C-alpha cells in the first residue's frame, strides 16, 4: 500500500537541468549539462526540485568548466532548490540557490 499522489525522481551524474531552481536554460537546441545530484518530489499540485552540482559542460564547448565568480575565483558547488505550485488557474514558484564561499573569496 502506497501513496499514488507522491512521486520522486532522483539522478546522479551528467544531466540537463532546465530551469531547475536558480539554474536557468535558454530555448536553444542544445543546453548546458551539469555534474551532480538532483531530485524532484511531486505531491499533487506541489513540486520540490533540488540539485547539488559541481561543474558544467557549456552547450558551445566540449570542455568541462568549474563555476567561477565574476573575478575568476573558483566556486566548489552550487546548491539550488525550487518549490512550485501549479493548477489550472494558478502558477507560483519560489527558487533558492547558494554557492560555497561565493561572497568570501
Residues 28, 29, 33: CA angle, nearest 5 degrees: 90
Looking at residue 104, what is its pLDDT? 46
Give the chain's residues under pLDDT 50. 104-105
- State how beta strands 91-99 and 64-68 pair: unpaired
Q: CB neighbours (10 Å) of residue 34? A: 24
Boundaries of domain holding 2: 1-38
Looking at residue 48, what is its pLDDT? 95
Q: Domain count of the chain?
A: 1
Judge whether 87 lies within some domain. no
Which neighbouring-strand residues pair with 97?
80
Judge whether 82 lies within some domain. no
Judge whether 46 lies within some domain. no
Looking at residue 41, what is its pLDDT? 95
pTM of the complete model: 0.77
Amino acid at each position: 500500500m502506497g501513496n499514488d499522489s507522491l512521486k520522486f525522481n532522483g539522478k546522479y551524474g551528467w544531466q540537463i537541468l532546465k530551469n531547475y531552481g536558480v539554474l536557468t536554460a535558454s530555448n536553444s537546441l542544445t543546453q548546458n549539462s551539469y555534474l551532480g545530484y538532483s531530485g524532484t518530489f511531486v505531491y499533487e499540485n506541489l513540486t520540490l526540485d533540488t540539485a547539488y552540482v559541481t561543474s558544467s559542460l557549456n552547450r558551445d564547448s566540449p570542455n568541462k568548466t568549474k563555476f567561477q565568480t565574476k573575478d575568476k575565483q573558483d566556486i566548489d558547488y552550487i546548491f539550488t532548490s525550487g518549490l512550485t505550485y501549479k493548477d489550472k488557474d494558478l502558477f507560483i514558484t519560489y527558487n533558492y540557490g547558494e554557492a560555497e564561499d561565493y561572497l568570501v573569496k
